[in-house]
Amino acid sequence: MDPLIRLDDAAIGYGGRALLKGLTVAVEPDDFLAVVGPNGGGKTTLLRTLLGMLPPIAGRRTAESPLRVGYVPQRDHVDALWPLGCGDVVVMGRVPGVGPGGRIRPADVEAAERALARVGMEELWKRPFGTLSGGQRQRTLIARALASEPRLLALDEPTNGMDPSAELSAMDLLRELHRGGGLAVVMISHRLEAVANYARRLAFVDKDQGLWKVGLLEEMLRPEALTHLYGREVIVREEEGRRFVYPVRKGEGR
């Protein structure tokens, strides 16, 4: 299969100043790629370059044309005081493809209803967005992205600020959507443990270390790979079928 998006020997950054160089990565139609690194490490810059929101400073970006992308921004970047119902927010995902005159069609509402059902929130169609819990708002934003019927779902820190239970629920949802087929997933996170049980591939990004490494999940969870990311020994354990990642303090035994 041809990749949906590909970067070849790309340099990424702003205003002609490269934050990272030599990035080569392809997002396949059935991919689940998680980009992990510290806050401010370049993850969002990479995502924006992949999506074509930022041109690469050097190298090349190629993409399927047209490529339908459903984008989920960080939840705290969305105004919780929107005077809209949950369903109205989801319908916003249809705006780029609305018919002549910019009017929402019955088909757009039906697509939004299907998207809200996919995230398990169809009964909350009329609930004011501002009254939803953090986890429900995130599901609403995912449904808004799904309403555009994308080939690629791109998420920026989708579990940021969530408690462990809500984080687990959100990641389970993304796995279910991906397993449903026909949807590639690319997400960024500063928490490796949040994605270690879900992604097929991992990419490590840290502009301060000049770090860029991408590979299959099992390869990237090896101690030598994790040491580059954290700058210290890291232990990966499996407990009851789940992986847990434990950075070890310097001078501290296992």
- 74 part of a folded domain: no
Where are the alpha helices (H) located in the chain, listed in sequence order? Answer: 43-50, 86-91, 106-118, 134-146, 164-179, 192-195, 217-220, 223-230
Cα separation, 254 vs 247, whole angstroms: 10
Which one of 131, 149, 167 terminates a domain? 149
Q: What is the pTM of this model?
A: 0.90
Strands 17-27, 5-14: pairing is antiparallel
Which one of 120, 149, 178 terminates a domain? 149
Cα separation, 114 vs 146, whole angstroms: 9
- 73 part of a folded domain: no
Sign for the pseudo-dihedral over CA of 108, 110, 116, 121:
positive
Do 160 and 103 lie in one domain? The reply is: no
Which domain range does residue 132 map to? Answer: 79-149
Which one of 101, 118, 149 terminates a domain? 149
Q: Mind listing the pLDDT tens digit of every residue in the chain (254 residues)?
A: 799 999 999 999 999 999 999 999 999 999 999 999 988 999 999 999 999 999 999 999 999 989 999 999 887 666 666 678 999 999 999 886 554 456 788 999 999 999 999 999 999 999 998 898 888 989 999 999 999 999 999 999 998 888 888 899 999 999 999 999 889 999 999 888 889 999 999 999 999 999 999 999 999 998 888 887 887 788 888 888 888 887 776 655 55
Do 122 and 213 lie in one domain? The reply is: no
Do 121 and 234 lie in one domain? The reply is: no
Cα separation, 82 vs 207, whole angstroms: 35
